[in-house]
Homo-oligomer: A and B are copies of this chain.
């Protein structure tokens, strides 16, 4: 690299997650790394912001060395905290992950990993969310790290007319078994979910979220299919919410009296 970059690294699994360490190491090949991550597991918190209570930010140490900042909030809080308040520079790149568990299809709406990257691109910074397709904290990440480095390199070595948001999912298999990278769209998968009804030790009812992820969309161009086919999936995302087609259909409400 000609230029040392400033890179913000975050995640939703929390500052102690092995995946965060792998991504920070990958990022360090390109410049200086600042870590701002939730102090605990924050999976599925979407773009949640903490507005009703204050946040504490603690310096977090690994082997007695300063490692990064732990925020007792969400991934979106972490990125906003870094960009608006605690970093004295604007990062050139924001990386989120490596999430333990895949974030394909509808999961991008719920994922805190992706939400952190969304905050990045909204602030005008190229942002990449990374996930590996295993929830295990002990999953081998050698291949994931190699692909993260390749994808970061490809993003930072080009100029972009508009900032980009990429969602990368890496199969949890050996490097030699990964067939390459596929640029994808989101599959039309969904969760068939429910709450398991249980009883606490006092006989009181409680409910625990559960679900099956249903991938019935086997279109070759989707993220879920790429993963099934042992490819790394790279999906460009945008978060826009206007339903322009329906504006015409609903226009009649303007005449309600």
Contacts and interface: CB of A to CB of B under 8 A. Distances in A.
Interface of A: 41, 43-52, 54-57, 74, 76-77, 80-81, 84-85, 106, 108-110, 115, 118, 122, 150-151, 154, 160, 164-166, 180-186, 190, 193-195, 197-198, 204-209, 234-239, 241-244, 246-247, 249-254, 256
A151 B253 contact: yes
A252 B154 contact: yes
A64 to B, nearest CB: 22
Contacts of A85: 194-195, 197, 207
Given A43-B52, A164-B250, 6 more contacts: A45-B49, A80-B193, A109-B241, A164-B246, A183-B247, A236-B249
| Secondary structure dominating the interface of A | mixed
24 contacts: A43-B52, A45-B46, A46-B46, A46-B47, A48-B110, A54-B206, A54-B207, A54-B208, A56-B205, A57-B207, A80-B195, A80-B209, A106-B122, A109-B241, A151-B253, A164-B250, A180-B254, A183-B247, A183-B253, A186-B242, A234-B253, A236-B249, A237-B243, A238-B246
10 closest A-B pairs by beta carbon, nearest first, are: A236-B246, A238-B243, A46-B47, A46-B46, A236-B243, A54-B206, A84-B194, A48-B48, A85-B195, A45-B48
A76 B251 CA distance: 28
A235 B242 CA distance: 8
B115 A46 contact: yes
B254 A183 contact: yes
A253 B180 CA distance: 9
A145 B29 CA distance: 58
Most buried by B among A54, A160, A237, A254: A54
B51 A207 contact: no
A135 to B, nearest CB: 11
A102 to B, nearest CB: 15
Contacts of A254: 180-183
Nearest to A112: B48
A237 B247 contact: no
B207 A234 contact: no
A235 to B, nearest CB: 7
A87 to B, nearest CB: 12
A181 B242 contact: no
